[in-house]
Amino acid sequence: MSRVIRAAVFQTAWTGDKESMIQVHEQAARDAAAQGAQVLCFQELFYGPYFCQVQDKAFYAYAEQIPEGPIVRRFQALAKELGLVLVLPMYEEEQPGVLYNTAAVIDADGSYLGKYRKTHIPQVPGFWEKFYFRPGNSGWPVFDTAVGRIGVYICYDRHFPEGWRALGLAGAEIVFNPSATSRGLSGYLWQLEQPAAAAANEYFIGAINRVGVEEYGDNDFYGTSYFVDPEAQFVGEVAGDKETELVVRDLDLAKLREVRDRWQFYRDRAPGTYGPLTAP
Amino acid sequence: MTTALEPALSVRQVLTLDRVLAGEPEVVAGAGHLDRPVRWVHVAEAADVGVMLSGGEMVLTTGVLLAGDPDAQAEYIRSLHRAEAAAVVLGLGRAFPAPPDVMRRAAERCGLPMVVLHRPFPFAELTEEVQSRLVRSKFAAVSLSEAVRTALTGLVTAGAPLQRMLDEIAGHAACPVVVTNLAHRVLATAGERSAVDDVLRDWERIARQAGGSEGDGWIRAELGGRGERWGRIVLCGYRGDDATGRLLADRAAEALVLHRMLGGSVHTWEEESAQGLLTDLVSGVVPVRQLLPRARAAGLPVNRRTFVPLVVPDGDPAQLDRVLRLVGLPGLVAELADGATAVLLSLARDQDAEALAAHFAARLRHETGTRTTVAAASPRIAWDDVPGGLREALHVAEAAADAPADEDRPVLVRLRDVHLRGLVRLLRDDPHVQSFAERELDGLLYGADVEQELLPVLRTYLATGRNKSRTAQLHHVSRPALYRRLEAIQTRLGVDLDDFEQAASVHIALLAHDAQQHREHAPRHRWEHDGQRHGNTGRLR
């Protein structure tokens, strides 16, 4: 029995200011809804530049409260209007000086379902994230949305198999991986790691990467966003590497059961032997 | 590529040469490794021969220095193995009456082919035979490499299109040749059509095979430069030896990279590919069914889809493609005629085709800041109906282009929106219609002043529903002046424009006349120029 949902991800370039960036994303939500998309995830820190190329406290101003801040409220109204589940990767300020790289999840009726805070924070040239974010403390939430059970795993998180697995154990059917990653650094991994995670954990993954070069550094963000299924096959084509692009794909969630009935990875795990993985 | 330039005989091939057969060869060890390439043949009796080798040699020996010393025999074999010799050939008789067991076992353990010759045999004959064959094949490879390089470089510098380059490559390879981008989208193909169709039919599966082995004749070479890969060329089922196939693929890749660097971007190739496909579709020269695998290979979803053919007047293909990506709609874009760019949307069956076509048209206006009106055919469920749909969209676009300029032009027009104008367009080449138009407008069509004054006045008068004040206003003339011109028109035509039927008749004649004039001035469609060429090739260009 098939259970097809229409899902979307959106990659775009920094416009130069926050408000026009928000408007571009509002338009993308409308474009997705016009096609009948039921869920849409934006790129990491969607309404800003990828300011982690530099270390400047001026960018703390991009952070806002989740869900009390204006952006979440604005997109709650839009989600309700369009009947669209939205995943909003944002810069979160819990209180002054306590900042996270976070994704808020809004259900199709506009209600706020919760947030995931990025767990693994890099600190390497071009990606000075520890300057801006505390490591996440949200654990591995999976959100029961109108289209299915959704998890979020942000950017650098994707290099760590443990979180993917935790989301699978919590029942995620689709995991979105909003990112900002640049050509040369991770290009050879981008079409390797998420398909491998999709196969290992037997769920769908939507991977999003921004495009273009921004004024704060040389990072050349290469887009190529995609959906990949539990057999590690791309669903339709991968997006282009330079232009703004909305990727809308039909995902048959019944494939989870089909693949898990074939490969019993969850049955055959041996958590009793994994103690060393959690040793400090 | 040194590996490509060094084709070699295999051990197995050497053993089947007539001169070798005369020595009654027997493989006594390493029988599973007889496909190893033999780069050179070397006669050596020295016990420490290994240090003199550089790999790939077939070593010939009588073993005179090894007789009676099992340790030296085993070490001899191991040193050949360490030196990556291709095989060892032992002539029986002088030192060994039978294959020495120590050497045989050592060779078997190393996986080194060991051959014994049961009859006395002059080694010089074997070296001469093999060396001359190797030299000839090396020369042939260099000569092929040069021939291919010269031919392709000539084409690049002559500015030949991609298709011409691929035809040349396919001519050398004698198998289908496919160029793809990194998303495995087929950009161009060459080779015998039925073989190409067979490849494309299974393209989805083939493309997803990571890497792929070359043993099956599928030879891939990456296209790229300056640290960026952007596509690959695949020889599909090459029947010659791997080394020659690799050489061809590498030469082809070099030439294609040069072609792209000198001639434009990969987007141009993608546009060319879509243009070839849409042109073949609309021309009807290639059976529509045959184009389905091509469409799928070009990245258009085709299973259980609704197709919406659109035509955008003066649409820039690259810009239209950007807008399609922006709004997330899958489709192919190509210029079909000067000033008419087609967009073939592929939608899921549950999607509202009309609404999405209108959405695309509206977003196109918003993104380009133009007042473009997109012409749309009615959606097609069956692939076989797509060519009719494309022709319908072209027809609507032409009919709409004739309509008087209007501030409130809609974002999207369909067949039902072009009314009588559309019908007249369809019939404009009919001799009866042409003579009707001539007859009805006879008094106005000839004479110096008429084209400038009376015909435009008549056109406006009829288009405004015989509104005299609006006509006068649009022509910037006083009402009495307009009356005089209308009077002149009626006199010349011998009609009474207040009579509805007579006015309607003149109006239809004028629409037919304008449609005919438009045809004479309009450029012909691409498939009318060279449809036959596309039809003969039946491939993506």
pLDDT tens digits, one per residue of B425-437: 778 778 888 888 8
Considering CB atoms only, which of B185, B208, B329 is closest to A237?
Answer: B185
- Nearest-CA residue of chain A relative to B326? A245
Q: What residues of chain A have any CB closer than 8 angstroms to a CB in chain B?
A: 6, 8, 31-32, 34-37, 183-184, 233, 236-240, 243-248, 250
Whether residue B365 lies within 8 A of chain A, CB to CB, comes out as no
Whether residue B325 lies within 8 A of chain A, CB to CB, comes out as yes
Neighbours of B323 (CB within 10 A): 22
- Cβ-based neighbours of B274, under 8 Å, separated by 6 or more: B298, B317, B332, B333, B334
- Is A44 catalytic? The answer is yes
Considering CB atoms only, which of B182, B326, B348 is closest to A245?
Answer: B326
Residue B94 has pLDDT above 90, yes or no: no
* A139 domain-assigned: yes
The candidate with the shortest Cα–Cα distance to A101, out of A60, A142, A154, is A154
pLDDT at B437: 87
The candidate with the shortest Cα–Cα distance to B198, out of B237, B167, B243, B234, is B237
- Nearest-CA residue of chain A relative to B303? A236
* A221 domain-assigned: yes
B24: amino acid identity, one letter: E
In terms of pLDDT, which residue wins out, B291 or B419? B291
Whether residue B350 lies within 8 A of chain A, CB to CB, comes out as yes
Considering CB atoms only, which of B182, B208, B363 is closest to A233?
Answer: B208
B304: left (phi over 0), alpha (psi -120 to 50) or beta: left
* A41 domain-assigned: yes
- Is A52 catalytic? The answer is no
Whether residue B363 lies within 8 A of chain A, CB to CB, comes out as yes
> Which of chain A's residues have a Cβ under 8 Å away from the Cβ of B207?
none
| Stretch A239-251: mean pLDDT | 95
Considering CB atoms only, which of B228, B299, B355 is closest to A237?
Answer: B299
Are the Cβ atoms of A248 and B328 closer than 8 angstroms?
A: yes
> Which of chain B's residues have a Cβ under 8 Å away from the Cβ of A238?
182-183
H-helix or E-strand containing B432? helix B431-445
Both tokens assigned to B265: 């971007």
The candidate with the shortest Cα–Cα distance to A193, out of A242, A237, A226, A221, is A226
* A280 domain-assigned: no
Are the Cβ atoms of B326 and A247 closer than 8 angstroms?
A: no
Q: What average pLDDT does chain B have? A: 84
Give span(s): CATH 3.30.450.40, chain B: 159-264
Considering CB atoms only, which of B227, B325, B350 is closest to A245?
Answer: B325
Instruction: Please state the CATH superfamily assignment of the domain spanning residues B9-134 in this structure.
Output: HprK N-terminal domain-like (3.40.1390.20)
> Which of chain A's residues have a Cβ under 8 Å away from the Cβ of B330?
236
pLDDT at A246: 98
Considering CB atoms only, which of A183, A236, A246 is closest to B326?
Answer: A246
Residue B95 has pLDDT above 90, yes or no: no
The reply to whether the predicted model has a pTM over 0.90 is no
Domain that holds residue A227: 4-267
- Own/partner pairs for A86-89, CB < 8 Å, 24+ apart? A86/A29, A86/A39, A86/A40, A86/A41, A86/A42, A87/A39, A87/A40, A87/A41, A87/A42, A87/A150, A87/A152, A87/A176, A87/A178, A88/A42, A88/A46, A89/A41, A89/A42, A89/A43, A89/A44, A89/A45, A89/A46, A89/A152, A89/A154, A89/A178
pLDDT at B539: 31
Q: Tell me: domain B298-424, CATH 2.40.10, correct?
A: no
- Cβ-based neighbours of B397, under 8 Å, separated by 6 or more: B311, B312, B313, B340, B375
* A272 domain-assigned: no
- Nearest-CA residue of chain B relative to A250? B348
Hunting for tokens 């976070």 — which residue is that? Answer: A102
Q: Which fold has domain B428-521?
A: Arc Repressor Mutant, subunit A (1.10.10)
In terms of pLDDT, which residue wins out, B264 or B539? B264
Q: Please, which residues bridge with residue B343 across strands?
A: B310, B333
DSSP A202: T
Residue B408 has pLDDT above 80, yes or no: no
Q: How far is A53 from chain B (nearest CA, A)?
A: 22
Are the Cβ atoms of A245 and B328 closer than 8 angstroms?
A: yes
Are the Cβ atoms of A31 and B348 closer than 8 angstroms?
A: no
Whether residue B71 lies within 8 A of chain A, CB to CB, comes out as no
Are the Cβ atoms of A184 and B227 closer than 8 angstroms?
A: yes
C-alpha angle with apex B509: B505 to B513, nearest 5 degrees?
Answer: 170
Give span(s): CATH 1.10.10.2840, chain B: 428-521
| Stretch A264-280: mean pLDDT | 95
H-helix or E-strand containing A112? strand A112-117
Interface test mutation site (partner A, options B326, B352, B365, max chain A beta carbons within 10 A): B326
In terms of pLDDT, which residue wins out, A154 or B485? A154
- Is A129 catalytic? The answer is no
- Domain count of the fold of chain A: 1
Question: Considering A41, A92, A129, A155, which one is annotated as catalytic?
Answer: A155
Are the Cβ atoms of B330 and A239 closer than 8 angstroms?
A: no
pLDDT at B2: 35
pLDDT at B5: 41
Among the residue ranges B161-165, B263-267, B341-345, B436-440, the one predicted with the least confidence is: B263-267
> Which of chain A's residues have a Cβ under 8 Å away from the Cβ of B412?
none
Among the residue ranges B4-8, B9-13, B75-79, the one predicted with the least confidence is: B4-8
For residue B328, what pLDDT band results from cuts at 50, 70 and 90?
Answer: very high
* A275 domain-assigned: no
Residue B536 has pLDDT above 60, yes or no: no
Question: Considering A93, A115, A118, A245, which one is annotated as catalytic?
Answer: A118
Are the Cβ atoms of A237 and B351 closer than 8 angstroms?
A: no
Give span(s): CATH 3.40.1390.20, chain B: 9-134
Within its chain, how far is the Cα of A77 from the centroid?
Answer: 21
| Stretch B251-270: mean pLDDT | 79
Both tokens assigned to B430: 């009919």
> Which of chain B's residues have a Cβ under 8 Å away from the Cβ of A23?
none
Interface test mutation site (partner B, options A245, A249, A250, A252, max chain B beta carbons within 10 A): A245
Could you report the per-residue pLDDT of A55-102, keeping only the tens digit for each? 999 999 999 999 999 999 999 999 999 999 999 999 999 999 999 999
Q: For residues B294 and B208, give the distance between their C-alpha atoms in angstroms, rounded to a whole number.
A: 17
> Which of chain A's residues have a Cβ under 8 Å away from the Cβ of B182?
238
pLDDT at B451: 59
CATH code, domain with A132: 3.60.110.10
* A104 domain-assigned: yes
Residue B29 has pLDDT above 60, yes or no: yes
* A278 domain-assigned: no
For residue B216, what pLDDT band results from cuts at 50, 70 and 90?
Answer: confident
Q: For residues B338 and B315, give the distance between their C-alpha atoms in angstroms, rounded to a whole number.
A: 10
Could you report the per-residue pLDDT of B493-521, keeping only the tens digit for each? 889 999 999 999 999 998 888 887 776 65
Q: What percent of chain A has pLDDT over 70?
A: 100
Q: Sign of dihedral through CA atoms B473, B476, B479, B483?
A: negative
For residue B209, what pLDDT band results from cuts at 50, 70 and 90?
Answer: low
> Which of chain B's residues have a Cβ under 8 Å away from the Cβ of A35?
327-329, 351, 356
- Nearest-CA residue of chain A relative to B302? A236
pLDDT at B534: 36
The CATH architecture of the domain made up of B159-264 is 2-Layer Sandwich (3.30)
Residue B270 has pLDDT above 90, yes or no: no
pLDDT at B158: 86
Q: How far is B185 from chain A (nearest CA, A)?
A: 9
| Stretch A37-63: mean pLDDT | 97
Q: How many CB pairs under 8 A join A and B?
A: 50
Are the Cβ atoms of B326 and A248 closer than 8 angstroms?
A: no
For residue B525, what pLDDT band results from cuts at 50, 70 and 90?
Answer: low
The candidate with the shortest Cα–Cα distance to A86, out of A14, A23, A170, A150, is A150
H-helix or E-strand containing B224? strand B219-225
Quick check: A143 and A174 in contact, CB under 8 A? no
